[in-house]
């Protein structure tokens, strides 16, 4: 026992030292340059060493009597750990010494800090540690093999025990059979005494139980749940299976439990099963194959994965070909684009049909060859049918045309014993649920035919209906379309009466008290949406109108919405506690039409009038005047009064105010989290005119929209505010505001916002108009990145987008197009261009920012890798210290600016082309240092433009100073080339291409002719 404790302690100490080595080696990258590849190899080897030590510690840190460790084995491993600990401690001290000697913010070269002796010592220690790690790994593998042999021995013992259990089970089965025969004889004797002619009204009639509807036939499929534990490549499992659904008339309460062990390769399991219920107790043990697979190695799962990839490619191609301006999309709806009939739609249909035909063929071949089974599923329970449903729902608009091939695939899977009601990670995650989550509009509900296919092959909604937390309106509409899914529900007669719109039957069931109006899965009132007579009957019976408003808005049925609100439905049901839960958030999530929005606003105005009338009746004239109201005004002059204060005053005076009159907690409805331009227009037309009122945070609706840029549709709302004359306060520093409005600042450089008729539009136009003092306003920054303070143009340059691969492309796009933007409306001065040039050179030199506004770090923002080291708001002494460390780099910065101004004087008459040529040169002569798969810098294409590399004879970048001769010569040749014919082709490479243009397509200004930004490309 002492030897084993020594191994655990030694591994723990070595683990701590290895962590020190890893931390010390990683910190060198932030402090030194030109670090040799051996240090990166050391990091990777140390990470592997740490993983190995964790496994050793976990294996030995257990019950001693469960492990077999001989004395010579423990002595050997202790010796290895001791030697490795000694070498790791020395290496950690060496690397930590290098880190502490390089505490300056300026990154020095490796060769200047590390001498040859130290470098040799580090290499030797790395070699010895790697040798010890290999020895330790071989020893651990040997121990693992010994453990597996022990498991095999235990399995053989289990098999012997299992045979004994089976013998006992056989004896029990014989006894059980004898008992069953005896019971059957007793039953026959009892039946012989019954009067077969007795009616239900006779004295024994109550003993006879009639079958319920469909009671003679059971269509249930077994449902199961399981847990498992993986160890040594094996899986220990325990599962529970029931044969009937809870509402099945033939449910006998029988439940089966299974436990055992299985191997994934080969796919064999050994299990013991116990079944209870239905007059029987049985046990069984067997060795059998199973259907749990690794999806990465399963031919069937691979075929579906390839189909999913092909589906994404087809949809992306179709989106690129689609004429976005002809579809009539509203900017305030988030509906995915619909591919309608036409040449493009026909191509997508043909591609989709070919895709599913190929998938069907691959699945059938894999099943016939025996390499896969229709019943295969992952460890988490995801089946082939789950994955197929996800792929099929990508083409919901073509389901009617693809019906037969989709039906063939489902039939192939279900005929092979695939469970159509299998659950994945959660009980309700069945294949039919995967269909549901892709139905977000009534149009998609109508187009979808996969639901009918799945239901025809045995799918049901029992698991979804049992989950009371899922009350989404699309589920209600889905059930109305497929009423068969409700057959096993307790209130099926009420559901049928509602769906079939039988007012007489519904009224009869209400009179018989056979309808539970509080049931939410599904809600009876929600099923009546679209049938106003049925809604009226249920509301008169006491149904809560709040239960169905979401479904009414989702289905865009105006009479139902109006009826529910007129019966007291809350417009802001939980607004006092959950401000986002109201009819306008529901309207946004349901992509409500403008007609629905206008109706909701109209009802809001009526509620405001009711609240005003109640206040006029209950409050004193003095109190009313303080609130801006008058005692004898019975008509609502304007709904834009301080409704929230009025409501609180009524409560303070102990007046019983109906909950339906709660006005919401927003300062104005323009401050709503889900405000859109459609809602704003409806509010404004209804008399809500306070579009510049400040909330408790001091934000106007325009400011809040900019600061909470949480979905792309808000661009239209900002444009509407600007059209009404709303602007940022003149006293607000534009730079400071943009530093906080992160998402908007990122969007400005995400595309080339120029129309074909050469106008600025979209986010760039907003950026130009947002602040009264324009885009050249400066702050009071004293950082060396500028001479007159930071500008809004510079903030846009420094913002990083959360998809790292776009970061440098966005900088290039903003820099190269800045001169075009200026000539088309931004009207930037020469000083602004010089300041932007200074900022970009500053960042490329890796100098540290000391800007007063700083750069906010968020989960999707990291400026350090491309815009220097941002030190934020520093005190005077600290700022001086940081700038002192960068003084030698400032000399290079000043040299570049001096060269820029000199060359600008030479090419002043062709500034736009000079600006482009300058940055082509800088891309080569002063590139950003960091470049990896995550922070990739896209090289600009130089078709028909001279290559700056040919002007660099020395081919050396050791110095930070500019190569004056090479840059001057390059610009002398490049500027005329760009001025002649090369500039359009050069600009074209900075436009969005392919998938990127698909993502940003909804941001197009549909009233403008776009400059080809959305063409398909590589």
686-714 pLDDT per residue, tens: 999 999 999 999 999 999 999 887 656 68
Helix or strand or coil: residue 920? helix
Percent of the chain residues topping a pLDDT of 70 = 66
Name the residue ranges covered by the structural domains of the chain.
2-100+116-161, 220-290, 301-319+342-467, 478-569, 583-701, 735-1003
Q: Which sign does the torsion angle of CA 678, 681, 684, 686 carry? A: negative
Check residues 232 and 202 and name the one with the higher pLDDT: 232
pLDDT at 853 over 60: yes
What pairs with residue 848 in β-bridges? 869
pLDDT at 201 over 50: no
pLDDT at 772 over 60: yes
pLDDT category, 411, cuts 50, 70, 90?
A: very high
- What are the b/e assignments for 294-329, b being 16+ CB within 10 Å? ebeebbbbebbeebbebbeebbbbbbbbbebeeeeb
pLDDT at 396 over 80: yes
pLDDT in the model for residue 263: 64
Contact (CB, 8 A) for 569 and 577: no
pLDDT in the model for residue 289: 56
pLDDT in the model for residue 318: 73
Q: What is the pLDDT of residues 708-745, one digit of tens each?
A: 876 566 888 999 999 999 999 998 899 989 988 888 88
Please, what is the average pLDDT of the chain? 76
Mean pLDDT of 358-370: 92
pLDDT at 685 over 90: yes
Helix or strand or coil: residue 499? helix
- Across 137-146, 211-220, 820-829, 985-994, the highest mean pLDDT is recorded for 820-829
Q: What gap in Å lies between CA 836 and CA 423, rounded to an integer? A: 57
Q: What is the pLDDT of residues 301-345, one digit of tens each?
A: 999 999 999 998 888 777 655 433 333 333 333 333 333 434 445
pLDDT at 680 over 60: yes
Q: What gap in Å lies between CA 290 and CA 346, rounded to an integer? A: 43
Q: What is the pLDDT of residues 473-486, one digit of tens each?
A: 888 899 999 998 88
Which residues have CB under 8 Å from 694's CB, separation 6+?
A: 667, 700
Q: What is the pLDDT of residues 931-950, one digit of tens each?
A: 544 444 556 666 667 888 78
**Residue 671 carries which DSSP code?**
G
What pairs with residue 275 in β-bridges? 256, 282
Check residues 650 and 1001 and name the one with the higher pLDDT: 650
Apex 472 CA angle, 467 and 478, nearest 5: 95
pLDDT in the model for residue 391: 95
pLDDT in the model for residue 34: 66
pLDDT in the model for residue 926: 86
Q: What is the pLDDT of residues 115-141, one digit of tens each?
A: 667 777 777 878 877 777 777 777 777
pLDDT category, 883, cuts 50, 70, 90?
A: confident
Q: What is the pLDDT of residues 65-112, one digit of tens each?
A: 444 444 445 566 777 777 777 777 777 777 777 665 555 555 566 665
pLDDT category, 1006, cuts 50, 70, 90?
A: very low
Check residues 804 and 34 and name the one with the higher pLDDT: 34
pLDDT at 993 over 70: no
pLDDT in the model for residue 271: 59
Check residues 338 and 167 and name the one with the higher pLDDT: 167
pLDDT in the model for residue 540: 93
Mean pLDDT of 356-368: 94
pLDDT at 19 over 90: no
Q: What gap in Å lies between CA 583 and CA 927, rounded to an integer? A: 52
Q: Which of 213-217, 253-257, 414-418 has the lowest mean pLDDT?
A: 213-217
pLDDT at 288 over 80: no
pLDDT in the model for residue 202: 36
pLDDT in the model for residue 46: 74
Helix or strand or coil: residue 210? coil
pLDDT in the model for residue 887: 85
Q: What is the pLDDT of residues 540-566, one digit of tens each?
A: 999 999 999 999 999 999 999 999 999
Mean pLDDT of 140-165: 66
pLDDT in the model for residue 897: 94
Which token pair is 437? Answer: 């989550």
Task: Identify the CATH number of the domain defined by range 2-100+116-161.
Answer: 1.20.1420
Q: What is the pLDDT of residues 586-623, one digit of tens each?
A: 898 888 999 999 999 999 999 999 998 898 888 888 88
Architecture of the domain spanning 301-319+342-467: Alpha Horseshoe (1.25)
Residues in the chain: 1018
Which token pair is 644? Answer: 């929230």
Same fold across 301-319+342-467 and 478-569: yes
Mean pLDDT of 6-18: 71
For 974-979, the CB contacts below 8 A with 24+ separation are 974/917, 974/920, 974/921, 974/945, 974/946, 974/948, 975/907, 975/910, 975/913, 975/914, 975/917, 977/944, 977/945, 977/946, 978/913, 978/916, 978/917, 978/945, 979/910, 979/913
pLDDT in the model for residue 197: 36
Check residues 854 and 412 and name the one with the higher pLDDT: 412
Q: What gap in Å lies between CA 888 and CA 104, rounded to an integer? A: 13
pLDDT category, 283, cuts 50, 70, 90?
A: low
pLDDT in the model for residue 501: 92
Contact (CB, 8 A) for 331 and 716: yes
Top-tier CATH class for 478-569:
mainly alpha
pLDDT in the model for residue 538: 95
pLDDT in the model for residue 337: 38
pLDDT at 31 over 80: no
Check residues 74 and 1004 and name the one with the higher pLDDT: 74
């Amino acid at each position: 026992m002492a030897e084993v404790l020594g191994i655990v302690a030694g591994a723990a100490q070595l683990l701590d030292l290895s962590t020190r080595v890893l931390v010390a080696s990683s910190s060198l990258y932030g402090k030194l340059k030109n670090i040799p590849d051996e240090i990166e190899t050391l990091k990777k080897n140390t990470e592997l060493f740490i993983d190995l030590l964790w496994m050793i510690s976990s294996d030995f840190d257990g019950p001693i009597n469960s492990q077999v460790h001989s004395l010579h084995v423990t002595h050997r491993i202790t010796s290895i750990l001791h030697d490795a600990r000694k070498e790791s401690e020395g290496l950690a001290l060496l690397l930590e010494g290098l880190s502490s000697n390089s505490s300056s913010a300026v990154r020095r070269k490796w060769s200047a800090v590390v001498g040859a002796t130290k470098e040799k010592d580090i290499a030797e220690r790395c070699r010895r540690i790697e040798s010890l790690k290999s020895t330790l790994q071989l020893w651990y593998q040997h121990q693992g093999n010994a453990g597996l042999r022990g498991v095999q021995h235990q399995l053989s013992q289990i098999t012997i025990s299992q045979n004994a259990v089976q013998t006992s089970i056989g004896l029990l089965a014989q006894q059980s059979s004898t008992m069953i025969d005896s019971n059957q004889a007793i039953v026959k004797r009892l039946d012989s005494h019954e009067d077969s002619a007795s009616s239900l009204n006779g004295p024994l009639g109550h003993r006879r139980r009639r079958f319920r509807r469909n009671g003679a036939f059971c269509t249930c499929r077994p449902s199961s749940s399981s847990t498992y534990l993986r160890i040594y490549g094996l899986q220990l499992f325990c599962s529970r299976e029931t044969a009937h659904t809870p509402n099945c008339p033939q449910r006998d309460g029988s439940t089966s439990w299974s436990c055992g062990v299985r191997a994934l390769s080969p796919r064999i399991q050994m299990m013991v099963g116990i079944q209870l219920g239905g007059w029987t107790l049985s046990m069984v043990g067997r060795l059998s194959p199973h259907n749990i697979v690794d999806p990465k190695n399963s031919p069937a799962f691979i075929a579906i994965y390839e189909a999913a990839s092909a589906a994404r490619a087809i949809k992306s191609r179709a989106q690129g070909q689609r004429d976005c301006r002809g579809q009539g999309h509203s900017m305030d709806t988030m509906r995915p684009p619909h591919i309608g009939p036409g040449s493009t739609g026909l191509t997508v249909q043909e591609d989709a049909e070919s895709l599913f035909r190929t998938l069907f063929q691959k699945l059938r071949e894999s099943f016939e060859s025996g390499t896969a089974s229709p019943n295969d599923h992952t460890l988490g329970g995801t089946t082939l049918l789950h994955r197929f449903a996800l792929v099929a729902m990508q083409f919901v608009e073509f389901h009617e045309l693809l019906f037969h091939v989709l039906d063939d695939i489902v039939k192939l899977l279900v005929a092979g014993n695939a469970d159509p009601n299998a659950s994945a990670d959660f009980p309700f995650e069945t294949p039919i649920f995967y269909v549901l989550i892709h139905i977000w509009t009534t149009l998609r509900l109508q187009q979808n035919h996969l639901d009918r296919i799945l239901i025809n092959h045995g799918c049901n909604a029992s698991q979804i209906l049992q989950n009371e937390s899922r009350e989404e309106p699309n589920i209600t509409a889905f059930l109305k379309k497929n009423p068969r899914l409700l057959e096993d529900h307790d209130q099926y007669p009420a559901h049928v009466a509602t769906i079939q719109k039988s007012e007489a039957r519904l009224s009869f069931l209400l009179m018989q008290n056979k309808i539970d109006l509080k049931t939410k899965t599904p809600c009876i009132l929600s099923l009546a949406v679209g049938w106003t007579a049925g809604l009226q009957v249920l509301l008169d019976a006491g149904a809560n109108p709040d239960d169905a408003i979401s479904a009414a808005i989702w289905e865009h049925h105006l009479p139902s919405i109006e009826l529910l609100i007129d019966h007291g439905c809350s417009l802001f049901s939980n607004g006092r506690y959950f401000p986002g839960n109201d009819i306008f958030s529901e309207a946004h999530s349901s992509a409500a039409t403008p007609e629905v929005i206008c109706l909701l606003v109209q009802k809001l105005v009526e509620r405001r009038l009711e609240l005003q009338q109640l206040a006029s009746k209950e409050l004193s004239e003095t109190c009313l005047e303080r609130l801006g109201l008058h005692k004898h005004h019975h008509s609502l002059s304007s709904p834009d009064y301080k409704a929230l204060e009025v409501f609180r005053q009524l409560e303070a005076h102990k007046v019983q105010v109906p909950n339906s009159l709660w006005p919401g907690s927003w300062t104005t409805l323009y401050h709503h989290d889900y405000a859109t331009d459609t809602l704003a227009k409806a509010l404004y037309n209804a008399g809500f005119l306070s579009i510049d009122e400040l909330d408790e945070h001091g934000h106007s609706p325009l400011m809040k929209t900019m600061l909470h840029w949480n979905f792309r549709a808000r661009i239209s709302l900002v444009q509407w505010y600007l059209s009404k004359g709303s602007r940022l306060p003149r006293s607000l520093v534009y730079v400071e505001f943009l530093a906080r409005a992160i998402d908007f600042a990122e969007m400005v450089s995400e595309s080339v916002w120029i129309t074909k008729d050469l106008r600025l539009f979209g986010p760039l136009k907003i950026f130009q108009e947002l602040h009264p003092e324009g885009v050249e306003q400066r702050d009071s920054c004293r950082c060396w990145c500028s001479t007159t303070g930071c500008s809004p143009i510079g903030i846009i340059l420094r913002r990083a987008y959360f998809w790292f691969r776009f970061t440098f492309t966005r900088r290039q796009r903003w820099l190269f197009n800045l001169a075009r933007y200026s000539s088309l409306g931004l009207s930037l001065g020469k000083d602004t261009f010089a300041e932007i040039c200074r900022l970009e050179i500053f960042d490329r030199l890796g100098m540290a920012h000391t800007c007063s506004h700083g750069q906010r770090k968020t989960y999707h923002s990291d400026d350090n890798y491309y815009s220097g080291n941002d030190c934020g708001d520093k005190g005077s002494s600290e700022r001086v210290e940081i700038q002192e460390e960068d003084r030698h780099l400032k000399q290079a910065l000043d040299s570049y600016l001096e060269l820029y101004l000199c060359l600008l004087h030479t090419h002043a008459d062709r500034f736009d082309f000079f600006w482009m040529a300058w940055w082509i040169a800088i891309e080569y002569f002063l590139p950003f240092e960091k470049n990896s798969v995550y922070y990739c810098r896209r090289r600009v294409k130089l078709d028909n433009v001279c290559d700056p590399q040919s002007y660099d004879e020395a081919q050396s970048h050791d110095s930070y100073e500019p190569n004056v001769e090479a840059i001057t010569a390059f610009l002398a040749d490049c500027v005329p080339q760009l001025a002649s014919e090369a500039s359009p082709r050069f600009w074209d490479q900075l436009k969005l291409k392919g998938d990127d243009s698909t993502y940003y397509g909804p941001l197009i200004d549909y009233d403008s002719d776009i400059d080809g930004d959305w063409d398909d490309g590589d």
